[in-house]
Protein backbone atom coordinates (compact mmCIF):
# COMPACT_ATOMS: atom_id res chain seq x y z
CA UNK A 1 0.00 0.00 0.00
CA UNK A 2 2.91 2.35 0.71
CA UNK A 3 3.88 2.13 -2.97
CA UNK A 4 0.53 3.58 -4.01
CA UNK A 5 -1.61 0.46 -4.24
CA UNK A 6 -5.16 1.29 -3.06
CA UNK A 7 -5.76 -1.88 -1.01
CA UNK A 8 -4.90 -2.96 2.53
CA UNK A 9 -5.25 -6.64 3.44
CA UNK A 10 -6.36 -7.98 6.81
CA UNK A 11 -2.91 -9.39 7.58
CA UNK A 12 -1.33 -5.97 7.06
CA UNK A 13 -3.08 -4.16 9.90
CA UNK A 14 -2.22 -4.32 13.60
CA UNK A 15 -5.85 -4.72 14.64
CA UNK A 16 -9.23 -4.83 12.92
CA UNK A 17 -11.87 -2.25 13.71
CA UNK A 18 -15.22 -3.29 15.22
CA UNK A 19 -17.84 -4.59 12.78
CA UNK A 20 -19.86 -1.39 13.24
CA UNK A 21 -17.40 0.27 10.83
CA UNK A 22 -18.05 -2.28 8.07
CA UNK A 23 -19.25 -0.57 4.93
CA UNK A 24 -18.23 2.87 6.14
CA UNK A 25 -15.41 5.30 5.43
CA UNK A 26 -12.37 5.22 7.72
CA UNK A 27 -8.92 6.76 7.69
CA UNK A 28 -5.79 4.66 7.26
CA UNK A 29 -2.61 5.73 9.02
CA UNK A 30 0.86 4.29 9.38
CA UNK A 31 2.55 3.60 12.73
CA UNK A 32 3.76 7.19 12.94
CA UNK A 33 0.22 8.47 12.56
CA UNK A 34 0.73 9.79 9.04
CA UNK A 35 -2.51 9.82 7.02
CA UNK A 36 -2.32 7.38 4.10
CA UNK A 37 -5.80 8.07 2.85
CA UNK A 38 -9.53 7.70 3.33
CA UNK A 39 -11.23 4.53 2.21
CA UNK A 40 -14.03 2.03 2.62
CA UNK A 41 -13.73 -0.65 5.29
CA UNK A 42 -15.04 -4.20 5.69
CA UNK A 43 -13.70 -6.51 8.38
CA UNK A 44 -15.41 -9.49 6.70
CA UNK A 45 -13.28 -9.12 3.56
CA UNK A 46 -9.69 -10.18 3.03
CA UNK A 47 -9.25 -6.70 1.53
CA UNK A 48 -10.26 -4.77 4.63
CA UNK A 49 -9.65 -1.26 3.25
CA UNK A 50 -9.89 0.23 -0.24
CA UNK A 51 -8.73 3.78 -0.75
CA UNK A 52 -11.07 6.44 -2.06
CA UNK A 53 -8.69 9.37 -1.73
CA UNK A 54 -5.37 10.35 -0.22
CA UNK A 55 -7.26 13.19 1.47
CA UNK A 56 -10.18 13.19 3.89
CA UNK A 57 -13.42 12.58 2.02
CA UNK A 58 -16.97 11.55 2.82
CA UNK A 59 -18.74 8.92 0.75
CA UNK A 60 -21.87 10.96 0.27
CA UNK A 61 -23.99 12.05 -2.67
CA UNK A 62 -21.52 14.79 -3.57
CA UNK A 63 -18.60 12.35 -3.73
CA UNK A 64 -20.58 9.83 -5.79
CA UNK A 65 -21.78 12.52 -8.19
CA UNK A 66 -18.27 13.87 -8.70
CA UNK A 67 -16.74 10.43 -9.21
CA UNK A 68 -19.43 9.29 -11.64
CA UNK A 69 -19.31 12.58 -13.56
CA UNK A 70 -15.54 12.28 -13.91
CA UNK A 71 -15.80 8.62 -15.01
CA UNK A 72 -18.36 9.44 -17.68
CA UNK A 73 -16.32 12.43 -18.84
CA UNK A 74 -13.30 10.17 -19.37
CA UNK A 75 -15.35 8.25 -21.94
CA UNK A 76 -16.98 11.29 -23.54
CA UNK A 77 -20.01 13.10 -22.20
CA UNK A 78 -23.62 12.83 -23.29
CA UNK A 79 -26.76 10.74 -22.78
CA UNK A 80 -27.64 7.93 -25.18
CA UNK A 81 -30.69 8.93 -27.15
CA UNK A 82 -32.23 5.55 -27.91
CA UNK A 83 -32.44 2.04 -26.59
CA UNK A 84 -30.88 -1.18 -27.91
CA UNK A 85 -33.67 -2.33 -30.23
CA UNK A 86 -31.73 -3.75 -33.20
CA UNK A 87 -32.87 -3.24 -36.79
CA UNK A 88 -36.43 -2.55 -35.81
CA UNK A 89 -35.28 0.39 -33.70
CA UNK A 90 -31.51 0.71 -33.75
CA UNK A 91 -29.80 2.91 -31.18
CA UNK A 92 -29.84 6.46 -32.37
CA UNK A 93 -26.84 8.77 -32.35
CA UNK A 94 -25.36 9.61 -29.00
CA UNK A 95 -25.87 13.23 -28.10
CA UNK A 96 -22.68 15.12 -27.41
CA UNK A 97 -22.33 16.79 -24.05
CA UNK A 98 -21.30 20.38 -23.57
CA UNK A 99 -17.61 19.79 -22.91
CA UNK A 100 -16.55 16.63 -24.73
CA UNK A 101 -17.12 14.42 -27.74
CA UNK A 102 -19.99 11.92 -27.56
CA UNK A 103 -19.22 8.52 -26.11
CA UNK A 104 -20.17 5.19 -27.61
CA UNK A 105 -23.65 3.92 -26.73
CA UNK A 106 -21.93 0.67 -25.74
CA UNK A 107 -19.10 1.25 -23.33
CA UNK A 108 -17.82 0.64 -19.82
CA UNK A 109 -18.73 3.75 -17.85
CA UNK A 110 -17.20 2.83 -14.50
CA UNK A 111 -14.24 0.54 -13.80
CA UNK A 112 -13.96 0.21 -10.03
CA UNK A 113 -10.80 1.66 -8.42
CA UNK A 114 -9.70 3.11 -11.76
CA UNK A 115 -12.62 5.53 -11.45
CA UNK A 116 -12.48 6.10 -7.70
CA UNK A 117 -15.42 3.80 -6.99
CA UNK A 118 -14.03 0.53 -5.57
CA UNK A 119 -16.20 -2.44 -6.45
CA UNK A 120 -18.47 -0.57 -8.88
CA UNK A 121 -18.63 -1.67 -12.52
CA UNK A 122 -21.11 -0.09 -14.93
CA UNK A 123 -21.57 -1.00 -18.59
CA UNK A 124 -23.82 1.00 -20.90
CA UNK A 125 -25.98 -0.68 -23.54
CA UNK A 126 -27.89 2.05 -25.33
CA UNK A 127 -30.46 3.42 -22.90
CA UNK A 128 -29.81 0.71 -20.30
CA UNK A 129 -26.92 0.41 -17.84
CA UNK A 130 -25.83 -2.83 -16.21
CA UNK A 131 -24.48 -2.09 -12.74
CA UNK A 132 -22.39 -4.52 -10.70
CA UNK A 133 -21.55 -3.69 -7.08
CA UNK A 134 -19.02 -5.86 -5.30
CA UNK A 135 -18.12 -4.01 -2.08
CA UNK A 136 -20.19 -3.54 1.07
CA UNK A 137 -19.80 0.24 1.27
CA UNK A 138 -20.96 0.74 -2.30
CA UNK A 139 -23.75 -1.80 -1.88
CA UNK A 140 -25.11 0.27 1.01
CA UNK A 141 -25.23 3.19 -1.44
CA UNK A 142 -26.55 1.22 -4.42
CA UNK A 143 -29.77 3.19 -4.80
CA UNK A 144 -28.14 6.65 -5.06
CA UNK A 145 -25.49 5.24 -7.42
CA UNK A 146 -28.24 3.94 -9.70
CA UNK A 147 -30.18 7.20 -9.46
CA UNK A 148 -27.09 9.26 -10.30
CA UNK A 149 -26.19 7.06 -13.28
CA UNK A 150 -29.71 7.47 -14.64
CA UNK A 151 -29.57 11.24 -14.14
CA UNK A 152 -26.11 11.74 -15.59
CA UNK A 153 -26.53 9.50 -18.65
CA UNK A 154 -30.23 9.68 -19.41
CA UNK A 155 -30.47 5.89 -19.09
CA UNK A 156 -34.05 4.63 -18.92
CA UNK A 157 -33.19 1.56 -16.89
CA UNK A 158 -30.48 0.39 -14.50
CA UNK A 159 -30.04 -3.38 -14.26
CA UNK A 160 -28.40 -4.39 -10.98
CA UNK A 161 -26.38 -7.55 -11.71
CA UNK A 162 -25.28 -8.28 -8.17
CA UNK A 163 -24.70 -11.97 -8.83
CA UNK A 164 -20.90 -12.13 -8.99
CA UNK A 165 -19.16 -14.59 -6.68
CA UNK A 166 -16.93 -11.70 -5.60
CA UNK A 167 -19.84 -10.47 -3.48
CA UNK A 168 -19.52 -13.52 -1.25
CA UNK A 169 -16.03 -12.35 -0.30
CA UNK A 170 -17.60 -9.18 1.10
CA UNK A 171 -20.38 -11.04 2.89
CA UNK A 172 -22.97 -9.80 0.43
CA UNK A 173 -26.06 -11.59 -0.88
CA UNK A 174 -26.50 -12.48 -4.53
CA UNK A 175 -29.35 -10.70 -6.29
CA UNK A 176 -30.51 -9.34 -9.63
CA UNK A 177 -33.10 -6.61 -10.09
CA UNK A 178 -33.82 -3.40 -11.98
CA UNK A 179 -34.15 0.16 -10.78
CA UNK A 180 -37.74 0.33 -12.03
CA UNK A 181 -38.72 -3.02 -10.56
CA UNK A 182 -39.83 -4.33 -13.96
CA UNK A 183 -38.00 -7.20 -15.64
CA UNK A 184 -35.64 -6.12 -18.42
CA UNK A 185 -36.80 -8.07 -21.46
CA UNK A 186 -34.12 -9.50 -23.80
CA UNK A 187 -33.93 -7.73 -27.15
CA UNK A 188 -31.80 -7.13 -30.21
CA UNK A 189 -29.00 -4.58 -30.00
CA UNK A 190 -26.78 -3.35 -32.82
CA UNK A 191 -23.12 -3.27 -31.77
CA UNK A 192 -20.38 -2.48 -34.30
CA UNK A 193 -22.62 -3.31 -37.24
CA UNK A 194 -23.94 -6.62 -35.91
CA UNK A 195 -27.19 -7.44 -34.17
CA UNK A 196 -26.88 -9.36 -30.90
CA UNK A 197 -29.60 -10.85 -28.76
CA UNK A 198 -28.89 -9.34 -25.35
CA UNK A 199 -30.20 -10.54 -22.03
CA UNK A 200 -28.81 -7.94 -19.64
CA UNK A 201 -30.58 -9.25 -16.57
CA UNK A 202 -29.78 -12.96 -16.91
CA UNK A 203 -26.98 -13.36 -19.48
CA UNK A 204 -23.31 -13.93 -18.73
CA UNK A 205 -21.46 -11.13 -16.92
CA UNK A 206 -23.08 -7.83 -17.91
CA UNK A 207 -24.62 -9.18 -21.11
CA UNK A 208 -21.82 -8.64 -23.63
CA UNK A 209 -18.01 -8.61 -23.47
CA UNK A 210 -17.42 -4.94 -24.27
CA UNK A 211 -13.69 -5.26 -23.52
CA UNK A 212 -13.08 -7.22 -26.76
CA UNK A 213 -14.88 -4.88 -29.15
CA UNK A 214 -11.66 -3.50 -30.66
CA UNK A 215 -10.26 -7.00 -31.14
CA UNK A 216 -13.15 -8.33 -33.22
CA UNK A 217 -12.37 -6.25 -36.36
CA UNK A 218 -8.63 -6.51 -35.67
CA UNK A 219 -8.73 -10.30 -36.01
CA UNK A 220 -11.23 -10.16 -38.88
CA UNK A 221 -8.71 -8.45 -41.15
CA UNK A 222 -6.78 -11.75 -41.25
CA UNK A 223 -9.87 -13.82 -42.11
CA UNK A 224 -10.59 -13.21 -45.81
CA UNK A 225 -10.36 -16.48 -47.72
CA UNK A 226 -9.35 -18.36 -44.57
CA UNK A 227 -10.71 -21.13 -42.37
CA UNK A 228 -11.37 -19.63 -38.92
CA UNK A 229 -11.82 -21.37 -35.58
CA UNK A 230 -13.32 -19.25 -32.78
CA UNK A 231 -12.67 -21.13 -29.52
CA UNK A 232 -14.57 -20.07 -26.40
CA UNK A 233 -16.80 -18.15 -28.78
CA UNK A 234 -19.53 -17.07 -26.34
CA UNK A 235 -22.01 -15.09 -28.47
CA UNK A 236 -19.83 -15.55 -31.55
CA UNK A 237 -18.50 -12.03 -32.05
CA UNK A 238 -15.12 -13.05 -33.46
CA UNK A 239 -16.85 -15.61 -35.69
CA UNK A 240 -19.43 -13.13 -36.99
CA UNK A 241 -16.79 -10.55 -37.87
CA UNK A 242 -14.63 -13.19 -39.57
CA UNK A 243 -17.55 -14.51 -41.61
CA UNK A 244 -18.51 -11.05 -42.85
CA UNK A 245 -14.84 -10.36 -43.67
CA UNK A 246 -14.86 -13.24 -46.17
CA UNK A 247 -13.72 -16.35 -44.29
CA UNK A 248 -14.41 -19.52 -46.27
CA UNK A 249 -15.34 -21.48 -43.14
CA UNK A 250 -16.07 -20.37 -39.58
CA UNK A 251 -16.51 -22.67 -36.60
CA UNK A 252 -17.28 -21.46 -33.08
CA UNK A 253 -16.85 -23.63 -29.98
CA UNK A 254 -18.11 -23.08 -26.46
CA UNK A 255 -19.03 -25.37 -23.58
CA UNK A 256 -21.99 -23.15 -22.62
CA UNK A 257 -24.86 -24.44 -24.72
CA UNK A 258 -26.96 -21.35 -24.07
CA UNK A 259 -24.14 -19.26 -25.58
CA UNK A 260 -24.03 -21.58 -28.63
CA UNK A 261 -27.78 -21.22 -29.09
CA UNK A 262 -27.44 -17.45 -28.90
CA UNK A 263 -24.50 -17.42 -31.34
CA UNK A 264 -26.54 -19.39 -33.87
CA UNK A 265 -29.39 -16.91 -33.48
CA UNK A 266 -26.97 -14.01 -33.97
CA UNK A 267 -25.50 -15.56 -37.15
CA UNK A 268 -28.95 -16.10 -38.63
CA UNK A 269 -30.07 -12.59 -37.74
CA UNK A 270 -26.99 -11.06 -39.40
CA UNK A 271 -27.13 -13.23 -42.51
CA UNK A 272 -23.63 -14.70 -42.14
CA UNK A 273 -22.54 -18.30 -42.49
CA UNK A 274 -20.92 -19.70 -39.38
CA UNK A 275 -21.21 -23.03 -37.57
CA UNK A 276 -21.40 -23.20 -33.79
CA UNK A 277 -20.89 -26.35 -31.73
CA UNK A 278 -21.20 -26.94 -28.01
CA UNK A 279 -17.96 -28.56 -26.87
CA UNK A 280 -15.24 -28.49 -24.25
CA UNK A 281 -12.42 -26.81 -26.17
CA UNK A 282 -9.65 -28.90 -24.59
CA UNK A 283 -11.50 -32.13 -25.37
CA UNK A 284 -12.24 -30.93 -28.89
CA UNK A 285 -8.56 -30.26 -29.58
CA UNK A 286 -7.67 -33.67 -28.10
CA UNK A 287 -10.07 -35.37 -30.49
CA UNK A 288 -8.39 -33.54 -33.39
CA UNK A 289 -4.86 -34.34 -32.19
CA UNK A 290 -3.99 -36.73 -35.05
CA UNK A 291 -5.70 -34.68 -37.77
CA UNK A 292 -3.70 -32.63 -40.25
CA UNK A 293 -3.58 -28.85 -39.57
CA UNK A 294 -6.93 -27.60 -40.78
CA UNK A 295 -7.20 -23.97 -39.69
CA UNK A 296 -5.71 -20.76 -41.04
CA UNK A 297 -6.85 -18.54 -38.15
CA UNK A 298 -7.58 -19.59 -34.58
CA UNK A 299 -8.95 -17.35 -31.82
CA UNK A 300 -8.43 -18.39 -28.19
CA UNK A 301 -10.43 -16.21 -25.80
CA UNK A 302 -10.92 -18.41 -22.72
CA UNK A 303 -12.44 -17.46 -19.37
CA UNK A 304 -9.96 -16.67 -16.59
CA UNK A 305 -8.08 -19.81 -15.58
CA UNK A 306 -6.35 -18.05 -12.66
CA UNK A 307 -9.01 -16.60 -10.38
CA UNK A 308 -6.54 -16.44 -7.50
CA UNK A 309 -2.77 -16.32 -7.04
CA UNK A 310 -2.81 -19.86 -5.71
CA UNK A 311 -4.39 -21.06 -8.97
CA UNK A 312 -1.79 -19.37 -11.19
CA UNK A 313 0.62 -22.31 -11.52
CA UNK A 314 -2.07 -24.68 -12.78
CA UNK A 315 -3.49 -21.91 -14.95
CA UNK A 316 -0.15 -21.40 -16.69
CA UNK A 317 -0.05 -25.09 -17.55
CA UNK A 318 -3.57 -24.83 -18.94
CA UNK A 319 -2.77 -21.78 -21.06
CA UNK A 320 0.36 -23.46 -22.40
CA UNK A 321 -1.46 -26.66 -23.32
CA UNK A 322 -4.27 -24.73 -24.99
CA UNK A 323 -1.91 -22.61 -27.09
CA UNK A 324 0.21 -25.65 -27.94
CA UNK A 325 -2.79 -27.50 -29.32
CA UNK A 326 -3.89 -24.45 -31.29
CA UNK A 327 -0.43 -23.98 -32.82
CA UNK A 328 -0.40 -27.61 -33.95
CA UNK A 329 -3.81 -27.19 -35.55
CA UNK A 330 -2.72 -24.18 -37.64
CA UNK A 331 -1.54 -24.43 -41.20
CA UNK A 332 1.99 -23.06 -41.85
CA UNK A 333 1.81 -19.28 -41.77
CA UNK A 334 -1.49 -19.40 -39.89
CA UNK A 335 -2.58 -16.72 -37.42
CA UNK A 336 -3.24 -17.31 -33.73
CA UNK A 337 -5.08 -14.61 -31.77
CA UNK A 338 -4.70 -15.58 -28.11
CA UNK A 339 -5.93 -13.74 -25.03
CA UNK A 340 -6.01 -14.00 -21.26
CA UNK A 341 -8.37 -12.19 -18.90
CA UNK A 342 -6.67 -13.41 -15.72
CA UNK A 343 -5.29 -10.36 -13.92
CA UNK A 344 -2.95 -12.61 -11.93
CA UNK A 345 -1.22 -13.53 -15.19
CA UNK A 346 1.11 -10.74 -16.30
CA UNK A 347 2.50 -10.11 -19.75
CA UNK A 348 5.88 -11.70 -18.99
CA UNK A 349 4.11 -14.91 -17.94
CA UNK A 350 1.93 -14.92 -21.03
CA UNK A 351 4.98 -14.42 -23.25
CA UNK A 352 6.74 -17.29 -21.48
CA UNK A 353 3.72 -19.55 -21.97
CA UNK A 354 3.61 -18.75 -25.68
CA UNK A 355 7.36 -19.29 -26.05
CA UNK A 356 7.14 -22.70 -24.37
CA UNK A 357 4.15 -23.69 -26.50
CA UNK A 358 5.96 -22.62 -29.69
CA UNK A 359 9.03 -24.62 -28.69
CA UNK A 360 7.02 -27.77 -27.93
CA UNK A 361 5.05 -27.39 -31.15
CA UNK A 362 8.32 -26.98 -33.07
CA UNK A 363 6.91 -23.94 -34.84
CA UNK A 364 8.53 -20.57 -35.57
CA UNK A 365 6.21 -17.95 -34.10
CA UNK A 366 6.31 -14.20 -34.74
CA UNK A 367 4.39 -11.48 -32.93
CA UNK A 368 2.17 -9.55 -35.34
CA UNK A 369 0.22 -7.47 -32.83
CA UNK A 370 0.08 -6.93 -29.06
CA UNK A 371 -3.42 -6.61 -27.64
CA UNK A 372 -4.79 -4.92 -24.53
CA UNK A 373 -8.02 -3.88 -22.86
CA UNK A 374 -9.56 -0.75 -24.42
CA UNK A 375 -9.41 2.79 -23.01
CA UNK A 376 -12.89 2.55 -21.45
CA UNK A 377 -11.38 -0.09 -19.12
CA UNK A 378 -8.61 2.20 -17.80
CA UNK A 379 -5.60 0.80 -15.99
CA UNK A 380 -4.61 2.41 -12.71
CA UNK A 381 -0.82 2.68 -12.74
CA UNK A 382 -0.52 1.83 -9.03
CA UNK A 383 -2.92 -1.15 -9.23
CA UNK A 384 -1.83 -4.10 -11.40
CA UNK A 385 -5.20 -5.80 -10.77
CA UNK A 386 -6.95 -3.15 -12.87
CA UNK A 387 -5.10 -4.51 -15.90
CA UNK A 388 -6.52 -7.90 -16.75
CA UNK A 389 -6.99 -8.32 -20.50
CA UNK A 390 -3.96 -8.87 -22.71
CA UNK A 391 -3.10 -10.94 -25.72
CA UNK A 392 -1.11 -11.45 -28.88
CA UNK A 393 -1.80 -11.99 -32.55
CA UNK A 394 0.86 -14.37 -33.80
CA UNK A 395 2.02 -15.81 -37.11
CA UNK A 396 2.75 -19.50 -36.69
CA UNK A 397 5.09 -20.85 -39.39
Tell me how far apart the alpha carbons of residues 133 and 159 are, in angstroms, rounded to a whole number: 11
Is 28 considered catalytic here?
no
CA 397: distance to chain centroid? 31
Question: What are 158's strand-pairing partners?
Answer: 129
For β-strands 187-191 and 194-198, DSSP reports them as: antiparallel
Cβ-count burial of 121 within 10 angstroms (0-12 exposed, 13-18 middle, 19+ buried)?
buried
Burial of 352 (0-12, 13-18, 19+ CB in 10 A): middle
> Residue 390 and residue 397: Cα distance in Å, rounded?
22
- CA-to-CA distance for 226 and 243, rounded, in angstroms? 10
Interatomic CA distance for residues 166 and 224, integer angstroms = 41
Catalytic residue from among 28, 233, 341, 371: 341
Question: Running DSSP on this structure, what letter comes out for residue 383?
Answer: -
Whether residue 303 contacts residue 232, with contact meaning beta carbons closer than 8 Å, is answered with: yes
On whether the CB atoms of residues 178 and 201 are closer than 8 A, the answer is yes
Taking the C-alpha atoms of residue 243 and residue 250, their distance in angstroms, rounded to an integer, is 6
Backbone φ and ψ of 128, nearest 5°: -120, 145
Q: Please, what is the angle between helix 237-244 and helix 257-270, to 10°?
A: 30
Contacts of 333 (CB under 8 A, 6+ apart): 395, 396, 397
d(CA 159, CA 343): 26
CA 244 to chain centre: 24
Q: Kindly report the three-state secondary structure assignment for every residue of 274-287.
A: CEEEECCHHHHHHH
> Could you list the active site residues?
341
Amino acid sequence: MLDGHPWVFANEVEALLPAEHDGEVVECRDRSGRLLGTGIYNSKSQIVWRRLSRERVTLDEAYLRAALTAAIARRGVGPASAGPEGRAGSPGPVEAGPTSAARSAYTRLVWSESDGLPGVVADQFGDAIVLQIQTLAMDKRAAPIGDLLAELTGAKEIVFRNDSNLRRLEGLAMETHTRSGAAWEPRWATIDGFDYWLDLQNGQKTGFYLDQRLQHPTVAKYAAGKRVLDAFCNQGSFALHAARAGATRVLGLDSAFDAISQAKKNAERNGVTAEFVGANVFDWFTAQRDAAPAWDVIVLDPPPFAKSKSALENALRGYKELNLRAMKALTPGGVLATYTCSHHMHDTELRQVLAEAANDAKRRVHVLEWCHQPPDHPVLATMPESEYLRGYILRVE
